[in-house]
Structure 1
Amino acid sequence: MEKLKKIFQGVPADSPIPKELLLEQENPRPTKELDRNLFITDAAKSFRLTEKVKDSAKLSVSKLNKELGQLDQISPFDWGIPGKTEEIISMEKLQTKIKSEKIKVTEAEAFVPETHILGLHPKVVFANTKSAKRNRLNRIVTKSANHTTIFGSDNRVNIYPNTYPECCVCRVEVYTKLTDASPWSYQGRGTGFMVGRKILMTSGHMRPQQPYKSWMIKVIPAYYDGRSIYGNSFYTYGESYIAYQSDVGNDMMVVKLYDNIGDTTGYFGAKSYNSDWEDMNVWTMTGYPYDKGENRPTYQSSISVVDDDDGDDVKLPDGRTVDSTQIESYADEASGASGSPLYSWFSNGQMYAIGVHHGNETDWELFGSNLHSVASGGDMLPALVVWARNNWGN
């Protein structure tokens, strides 16, 4: 943190850092070594047994190799961990009159780990040629329910996510079961990012969709070519979630995870967007869009916010209310990028996200329309992060 403050000396206080200044610096190296014992989560070691074999499940010597073990009666095992509690804050709930004071929370601090390379400019890799083809025109391309929005040239590149905060960005997969006996059914995927030791932020429309008997949200941080860069066993699941989506400004879902993976990856801070930052090309977005980031995260920097609109007032889980904001930019995006952070290093050495990527939206004006990428933010983002940290442990 102190090293970053020295690098950013001369930049105005409480200001995001221009990419040009970041490029002048080398990525600061880690000062501590990662504890590799943390690379296997409790979630990766857990499974559910049917009632019939709870007392009879055994680990024996493998029939293929005496140096290996094998689980007997593998068929009764059910992979994954279902969630426990959920709450969807509907438009009707938000429109209910709330007799409470409106609060203003402007920021939540990040955890910048000393065990990681700091990503002032992450490592660019070759594109994954297996990704879907993309359209480079400034329009939406719809195919198999997916969309792509590119503004002029595609400015996204694939990166290797071994730098902070890019290692905090997660691939998020959603599954449901119709009955206790049915298999898990894949519902879709998107992006999320760590905002606490065991707290994930993503889009509200990423929530499991009814009908279902049970739901499961799988979270894989720093996903690259089929697994986390921390190893095959570094992933976890959602235990609880609270989701909003009454308008574009509050399309957020905060998820309590079973494992404290943020202790290893670090996590983002959050900050309320300030309109003084409009047209500053200082923001970055990292995520897993289907067209270019199916297996390797995409990274786009030097994004500027071109407009911001007031969103619905939002009730926090404790009953207090906050403002939300629609943050508009020309960030290239596609299906799967939902839940990506819009973020920047700041002059105090902190890393703040100012928005949660929603998708795109058309602004209708007197002489036509304008298409933008849109993120959800405002006071709601840091306020929801602070609430989750205070109530779910941080």
Structure 2
Amino acid sequence: MAKKKDDVRKEEGSPLSYSQIIDFFDRSPKGDIPKDLRSMLLEEPEPYKFNGIEVKREKAFRVNPTVPMIPKWFGASPKPCKARLPFPTRVLHQGREVNPLVVFNPDDRRTYNDISYPWGTICRVITAAGAGSGVIVGPRHVLTASHVVDWSGNSGGTVEVHRSAGAVRAVTAISRVWYYTKVTGNTVAWVENDEDYAVLVTSSRIGDLFGWMGTRTYNSAWDDEPYWWNIGYPGSIAGGMRPTFQNRKALDEPWYDFGPARSMSTNADLTPGNSGGPMFGFWNDGPYVVAVASSESSTTNWCSGGSWLTNLVRHARDKDS
């Protein structure tokens, strides 16, 4: 009697056919997850709520800054501790060494691993739109770029606090998003450069643990001065899995930008993944964010700020305390 084709495949150790795979698996659960294992399972995030704010574009807000919170249990430091990257893998082909697929850019960004304040306030924001950067600016409030938010699908999103390689210090879901403008698509239009920010409200009060930065409205008197720091998760460095910092960077408001939302060019090194990361400086009482990384062009990198940014953070904190 001749053997069936499927029987021959099984005897030879061949993979299962697609029809065999369908028969093999059963999606229906068989019992509950044991209690000692359930604690390892993160809940699937719920869709977050959108809350837009309607304002007149010609209205400029003169609001007081939102002040920073410095936690005493982590300490504070003027510069984050550097993280040691793994040595690049040596790749041999026919006995000759070739370059591996690891990018070490010759720019000013440096990886770090330090949860002392304010370096532990950095966040990695993950939605269906991709991964970006953010910073804690309130008890449960994270400032990021508007184009990092998934405006179309809204399948939920998460915030990772201080992701560094395989370790992350806290994870929380996004429950609400406050915004002025939904910046959508694969590019940020030039008319959106000055309003590309949103405030994420998180399920957990991560700011009470890690502290938060304050926010201030940018003043053009600071143009071209190297006051500013940036932290973020550029995909071009360590695969976007380690935070980076850079300092002594400048901002410059265009002469033609007079509205409450302002764009600023910068000499900071920004690549995809940096979006939403803060441009901040230090005052006597702590660090304040004046803009977030927004977009890049062939010759210029752009940030978004203005009085709308400060007002948006204050509004979100007042409504979702």
Distance 2:319 2:194 in 1: 23
SS in 1 for 2:205: coil
Distance 2:320 2:130 in 1: 26
SS in 1 for 2:303: strand
User: Which of 315, 321, 336 matches 2:273?
Assistant: 336
Distance 1:306 1:84 in 2: 34
Q: Could you tell me which residue of structure 2 aligns to residue 270 of structure 1?
A: 215
Q: Could you tell me which residue of structure 1 aligns to residue 195 of structure 2?
A: 250
Q: How big is the shift at 1:307?
A: 3.8
Q: Could you tell me which residue of structure 2 aligns to residue 388 of structure 1?
A: 316
Distance 2:37 2:75 in 1: 38
Please tell me whether the aligned partners of residues 356 and 377 of structure 1 are also in contact (alpha carbons under 8 angstroms): yes
- Residues 1:206 and 2:152 aligned together: no
Distance 2:253 2:101 in 1: 31
Q: How many residues align?
A: 272
Larger strand proportion of the pair: 1
Q: How big is the shift at 1:166?
A: 1.4
Q: How big is the shift at 1:225?
A: 1.0
Amino acid corresponding to residue 160 of structure 2 in structure 1: I
Identify unmatched segments of 5+ residues in structure 2. 1-27, 90-99, 184-190
The alignment's C-alpha RMSD in Å is: 3.0
- Residues 1:155 and 2:155 aligned together: no
Where in structure 2 are the equivalents of 1:243-392 lying within 5 Å?
243=179, 244=181, 245=183, 247-293=192-238, 294-308=240-254, 311=257, 313=259, 323-346=260-283, 348-361=284-297, 371-392=299-320
Distance 1:268 1:275 in 2: 21
TM-score by length of 1: 0.62
Q: Are residues 224 and 103 of structure 1, via their aligned partners in 2, closer, same or farther at CA, if it must alter by over 3 Å?
A: same
SS in 1 for 2:150: coil
Greater Rg, structure 1 or structure 2?
2
Amino acid corresponding to residue 191 of structure 1 in structure 2: S
Distance 1:386 1:272 in 2: 12
Deviations 1:333-360 (A, max 9, x none): 11111000001111x2221011111022
TM-score by length of 2: 0.75
Deviations 1:41-90 (A, max 9, x none): xxxxxxxxxxx98xx974548xxxxxxx345xx9xx9842112411467x
SS in 2 for 1:325: strand
Distance 1:201 1:298 in 2: 17
Q: How big is the shift at 1:372?
A: 2.1
Distance 1:132 1:309 in 2: 42
Please tell me whether the aligned partners of residues 125 and 131 of structure 2 are also in contact (alpha carbons under 8 angstroms): yes
Q: Could you tell me which residue of structure 1 aligns to residue 171 of structure 2?
A: 235
Please tell me whether the aligned partners of residues 250 and 312 of structure 1 are also in contact (alpha carbons under 8 angstroms): no
Amino acid corresponding to residue 201 of structure 1 in structure 2: L
User: Which of 151, 154, 159 matches 1:219?
Assistant: 159
Deviations 1:85-106 (A, max 9, x none): 11467xxx77xx68x9653125
Q: Are residues 306 and 103 of structure 1, via their aligned partners in 2, closer, same or farther at CA, if it must alter by over 3 Å?
A: closer
Distance 2:320 2:135 in 1: 16
User: Which of 134, 139, 164 matches 1:192?
Assistant: 134
